[in-house]
Chain A
Amino acid sequence: MKKVQNEVKVRFLSASENESFSRTLVCGFALSLRPRVDELGDIKTAVSEAVTNAIVHGYRSTVGYIDMLLRTYDDRSLYIKIRDRGCGIADVKKAMEPLFTTAPEEERAGLGFAVMESFMDKLLVKSEVNKGTTVIMIKRIVGIDGYKTEKQN
């Protein structure tokens, strides 16, 4: 069993300014794993997609809280859980199809889940209509030292 090394919980309003706040926060948290620059970029982009989804789709024209749970594990993996209590998704499978969007007039490309999926190692989406959506993403960080150094310790 992998062990939790560090944990952070944050709650913020679904204001669009918080898109940049949340991804910067996750970046700061992930620094203890000494990630490479490209790994940080992947994490930042994936978090931005998930939080934007909660703001644009989950809460639409309303404002609500977004809960974020971050963890690092001793196997050098980063765990990110992003939860909203917004409108929820009726058909998760359909929502995850590339280019599918319910907000074309807002120029949403429909690529959020596709980006999360390809930039992270694992993506899990749970949703219930009128209850909200939970996105869980996991990424194993190779880091600037690589796995070898880790084993020597």
Chain B
Amino acid sequence: MALDIKLNKDKTKLYAFLDGEIDHHSSVFLRTDIDLNITLYKPKALFIDFSAVTFMDSSGIGLVMGRYKKMNEIGGRVYIQNPPNHIKRVMLLSGVNRLAKIVNADMISEEVETLEEGAK
């Protein structure tokens, strides 16, 4: 299954929409793409959206932990956005939610709206 990253940008927030299966094989490409955008835009917050993720093993935890470190260096935060239940389970098992807060869908639609207005 393919993975697709979409990045929406405004001045302070970076959104990474993940799509498909996250394992060791696919996470290598994901982290390169996300890190490139972190370096380019130096956002205050990174939202990693898991709503379209169909499978994730502990490589996904490594992905979040790595981005947390990277964002921490530039004084930014990481949010785990909209994880489906099976993914939330792996997140909670690892305790990675103590580094990156899990945020719900309502917050996202609001954030994305302001983001789109800002882009106009």
Q: B21's contact among A20, A49, A55, A106, by CB below 8 Å, is which?
A: A20
Give the residues in chain B near A55, CB-CB below 8 Å. Answer: 24
B57 near A16: Cβ-Cβ < 8 Å: no
**B56 nearest CB neighbor, chain A only:** A45
B23 near A19: Cβ-Cβ < 8 Å: yes
Task: Number of B interface residues at 8 Å Cβ cutoff, please give it.
Answer: 22
Q: Number of A-B pairs whose CB atoms are under 8 Å? A: 62
Q: Which B positions have Cβ atoms within 8 angstroms of A? A: 1, 21, 23-25, 27, 31, 55-59, 61-63, 65-66, 86, 90, 93-94, 96
Q: B23's contact among A52, A106, A118, by CB below 8 Å, is which?
A: A52
Q: Kindly state whether residue A136 has any CB partner on chain B within 8 Å.
A: no
Which A-B residue pairs are the 5 nearest by beta carbons?
A107-B62, A16-B25, A109-B61, A111-B58, A48-B57
Do A17 and B31 form a contact, CB below 8 Å, given A38-B86, A115-B58, A115-B90? no
A109 near B93: Cβ-Cβ < 8 Å: no
**A37 nearest CB neighbor, chain B only:** B86
Q: B31's contact among A41, A107, A109, A114, by CB below 8 Å, is which?
A: A107
